[in-house]
Amino acid sequence: MVNQSEVEFVETIVPMDFNYNIRAGKPIEDYLRGMAQKKIMGSKCTKCGKVVIPPRNVCGVACGKMEMVEVDQTGTLQNYTIGHVKITKGLMEPVEEPVVLGMIQLDGTNSLLVSEIRGVDPKQVKKGLRVKAVWKESPEGKFDDLAYFELAS
């Protein structure tokens, strides 16, 4: 019998690829339909007025119902990080140019959206920058139709 405390484990990374086909639910379906039209959809609480993206069915415990609203495509950078690697299927590899990942509060919303920010020197990035959405040329109703954000003029 092997004493478990004496067993040496060899660790490795095994890239895995999972594809799920699930019903997204009405709020996310509306969000993705909006993406196909280069619109960002959120939900607004009928009681407290908070607007969140992506949309959802309920605001919070014992709060109001949510109604679908289109939100602004400009916002303010609230936080960010500079990435020097990318992770694809669990494998990390260095990137040629640093990537700016921002947490953006779109105007009129109460939640944050995480997206890449392009066209800005990572050394010049700071909280409070004004940014706007940039879309894929031919959106397909997918999350990555909203390609990235750039500085708003």
| Contact positions vs Zn ion (CB under 5 A) | 45, 47-48, 59, 63-64
Q: Which is nearer to Zn ion, 64 or 83 (CB)?
A: 64
Q: Which is nearer to Zn ion, 7 or 61 (CB)?
A: 61
What residues does 132 pair with on adjacent strands?
74, 150
CB of 24 to Zn ion, least distance (A): 22
CB of 48 to Zn ion, least distance (A): 3
CB of 135 to Zn ion, least distance (A): 29
Q: Which is nearer to Zn ion, 59 or 71 (CB)?
A: 59
C-alpha–C-alpha distance, residues 114 and 117, integer Å: 9
State how far the alpha carbon of 114 is from the alpha carbons of 22, 48, 52, 101, 146, in Å. Answer: 23, 24, 13, 7, 11
CB of 76 to Zn ion, least distance (A): 22
State how far the alpha carbon of 79 is from the alpha carbons of 42, 72, 101, 103, 136, in Å. Answer: 21, 19, 9, 5, 24
What residues does 30 pair with on adjacent strands?
none
Q: Which is nearer to Zn ion, 105 or 110 (CB)?
A: 110
